[in-house]
Chains A and B, each alone.
Chain A
Amino acid sequence: MSEILKYISRTWNIKKLVAILSMFILFLTSGFPLFAQQQRFPKPEFESGYTQPVTSMPEARSDFFAIFDVLVLIVALSLISWLILKKRSRRGVLAVSVFSILYFGFFREGCICSVGSLQNVTLALFQPEYSIPISALAFFVIPLVYTLFFGRTFCAGVCPLGAIQDVLLLRPVTMKRWLQKVLGLIPYIYLGLSVLYAATATDFIICRYDPFVGIYRFDATFFMFAIGAIFLLLSIYVARPYCRFFCPYGVLLNWMSRFSKHHLTITPNKCIQCRLCEDSCPLGAINKPVPVKVMEDRQSATKRFISLSLIIPLLMVLGGWTLSNFHENLAKVNPKVRLANELMSFKPDVMLPSVEIEAFKSAGTPLTELYSQAAIIIEQFYIGAWILGAFLGLVFGLTLSSLSVFKYREDYTPDKGECVSCARCLKYCPVEK
């Protein structure tokens, strides 16, 4: 935030840009929702004194505005990619970040976001009856495609979750690489769980624990607000804590970015090894040159590769077996399984039924039907837990191997997977085009 203020105070152009952006947002917030709301039925008026609950989800967008959002996403991604790769402008990244916070954050109330769209796509793949909105699919695919070509420019300033953390980074502290690697395992677990729960139509846990959406909607529950506040507080010292140590979509972007052809480079020309950029990245995503003497000889490297090749499958089997033993615990998050459990332990003579039990009874569905559905879901979780465990075993094994394998590098280069293309490092490079 201080950087933004600094830039605003120094440069008239940015000031103008922010003003124009604010006017644009104001225009959108004043007129468009009225138009969109006309397409919905009015709420029923109850005479019994019943009051409508406040919904925590934003209203569905009309087709036109859904496509408009996709267009805005494409424009924003194109603009920020151009600003990063061609103009090499940190200011431009900041300006787009502010726009994203205002538009995708406060105006669009954080929904739909690419991070959460991962669950829509999973649900669509595993539950044929679910029809995925085209905008959700677009929000999932487009940033991945851009990342495949230009690196994580989406993370740099288009994602409202990343942007809000980025602008708050005031006093960054650096982390040891091993600690980053250990904490970096969390997003893989989160990704696995969110896919498992979306595939079984259990819950969209990414949305449930989205730390910033409550802030963007001004209606956070205390739990959501507490998580969001803690993340924002951490963002002052730790660069993008949610992006690096939680975001499941970031895992996919990380993979894509590793193959990106036109990724940001720290130097616009040949690196002169001045070391000025060495500590410039608050994410620790700059690979340092590796001296030749540190390189392993070919024989020991081959030996290591063979041993890792044996360990990784073992870790996968161990992970799968371990999690499969906990599949019933994982399944308890599912509402049907939970209801079946509740009903099995429910004693009508001494207990008051919960709202869920009352609703189930009033629906008239036979108990056996619920139990058989719950049994099917638990079976799905058994298979899902095996896959999730194997996936985590693979990730753990690959992380171990990445820590122990040395790669030869001559220059300072961004770690393509970890780098979010925030362009902070660019100003440290004295080399000109």
Chain B
Amino acid sequence: MKNKLTLIFSVVILLLLVALIAGDLFLKKPNLQKNIYEYDLKELRKVDPTLITYRESLNFAINSESVYGVAVDTADQIYVSGNDKLWIFDSQGKLQSSMKVRGDAHALCVSESGNILLGVGNRIDVRRPDGSLNNSFQIKGVRAYISSLAEKNGRVYIADAGQKIVHQYTIEGEKINLIGAKNLEKGIRGFVIPSPYFDLLLGRQGELWVVNPGRHAFEAYNNDGDLISTWERTSMQLDGFGGCCNPSHIAMLSDGSFVTSEKGLERIKIHLPSGDFKSVVAAPNQFDEGTKGLDLAVDSQDRIIVLDPSRKMVRVFELKE
């Protein structure tokens, strides 16, 4: 009986050996041509908790069917645009006022002077700090779609995702310049914008930082539209940006670091001024899957204000102690 078992076992092992050798010889070898853009979202959604340096300290819901943009003024008041409406909250989320606006403002900014700029389709409404309409002007072009705004010293920078360009206007509505048009002699490669997310901001020295999402790049321009700096990070890991076009939104901390939000893989991170990854503000598991358009703002305390369009909430993140 023992011999029989030994024999059966031996034969099975022999057949396994045959299978092992045949498998090694004939079966397809592991594909060495690794697809560098291939990503397993399940794996990439996992973030090492030690890299998350922020915690969610406050959140409050917005009573609106949709929310589009968020901005912060110098007094740390939080502005949120939604369906035909604009809400103003204090830094703790208490509603201060609200007003009806002319259309859905997908772009919103509050300048140092207190002016509130709203981008609705191809139109810019400039409102005074009290909310009254000061001025309104349109961007030419049937494909114009304003996705982000910034204003300083009477100059308005308008990110036009539809025409893939940045317009420079006076606050009165006079056109000054076009920024970012392809000009290889000047080292400008042109914006690649496959989806309607195209953000910009003004840096600490007044330079204009524009996201080139299709290239996973950040580009800095001076007032004359000359390219003065650029960095890009393509990676599905935390150290860069992946997918067709990311980051979708940006903001800047007081030390010049960039806060970035992404779609596809919903996450918010901080990159140093050099572009290198610094830390995670919020991991993908803190958002609903499929969330797009996580607009960002930073207040004077370096709190990161995130507009979550899926949950229709403003979510405030603070550095962990």
Contacts and interface: CB of A to CB of B under 8 A. Distances in A.
B247 to A, nearest CB: 21
A355 interface: yes
Interface stretch (A95-103, A267-275, A312-320, A346-354): A346-354
Interface stretch (B20-28, B136-144, B151-159, B276-284): B20-28
Contact of A342 (B3, B21, B33, B36): B33
B127 to A, nearest CB: 46
A183 B26 contact: no
Interface string B1-21: 001001100110110011011
Contact of A231 (B17, B25, B32, B36): B17
Contact of A186 (B10, B18, B25): B18
Contact of B33 (A179, A245, A352): A352
A333 B25 contact: yes
Contact of A351 (B10, B24, B36): B36
Contacts of A357: 33
Contact of A234 (B14, B21, B25, B36): B14
Contacts of A209: 21, 24-25
A230 interface: yes
B35 A227 contact: no
- Report whether over half of chain A's contact residues are helix, strand or loop; otherwise say mixed: helix
Contacts of A351: 33-36
B39 to A, nearest CB: 12
Contacts of B37: 350
A237 interface: yes
Contacts of B17: 227, 230-231
A228 to B, nearest CB: 11
Interface string B31-68: 01111111000000000000000000000000000000
Contact of A350 (B10, B13, B36): B36
A234 B10 contact: yes
A227 B21 contact: yes
B10 A241 contact: yes
A346 B33 CA distance: 8
Nearest to A356: B32
B206 to A, nearest CB: 38
A247 to B, nearest CB: 13
Contacts, number: 64
B9 to A, nearest CB: 8
Nearest to B15: A183
Interface residues of B, number: 21
A332 interface: yes
A73 to B, nearest CB: 28
A245 B14 contact: yes
B32 A355 contact: yes
B14 A183 contact: yes
B176 to A, nearest CB: 38
Nearest to B24: A223
B20 A354 contact: no
Contacts of A134: none
Interface in B118-157: none
A229 to B, nearest CB: 11
Nearest to A171: B6
A209 B17 CA distance: 10
B10 A238 contact: yes
Interface in A262-280: none
Contacts of A125: none
Contacts of A175: 7, 11
Nearest to B18: A186
B20 A227 contact: yes
A83 interface: no
Interface string A310-339: 000000000000000000011011000000
Contacts of A205: 25
A173 interface: yes
Interface string A201-240: 0000100010000000000000100010011011001100
27 contacts: A171-B6, A173-B6, A173-B7, A173-B10, A174-B7, A175-B7, A175-B11, A183-B14, A186-B18, A227-B21, A233-B13, A234-B10, A234-B13, A234-B14, A237-B6, A237-B10, A238-B10, A330-B26, A333-B25, A342-B33, A350-B35, A350-B36, A350-B38, A351-B34, A352-B36, A354-B32, A354-B33
Interface of B: 3, 6-7, 10-11, 13-14, 17-18, 20-21, 24-26, 32-38
Query: Which 8 A-B residue pairs are closest in the complex by CB-CB distance?
Result: A354-B32, A351-B33, A173-B7, A238-B10, A173-B3, A173-B6, A237-B6, A209-B21
Given A227-B17, A354-B32, A354-B33, 18 more contacts: A173-B7, A173-B10, A174-B3, A175-B7, A175-B11, A193-B25, A209-B25, A227-B20, A233-B13, A237-B6, A241-B10, A329-B26, A342-B33, A350-B36, A351-B35, A352-B36, A353-B33, A355-B32
Interface of A: 171, 173-175, 179, 183, 186, 193, 205, 209, 223, 227, 230-231, 233-234, 237-238, 241, 245, 329-330, 332-333, 342, 345-346, 350-357
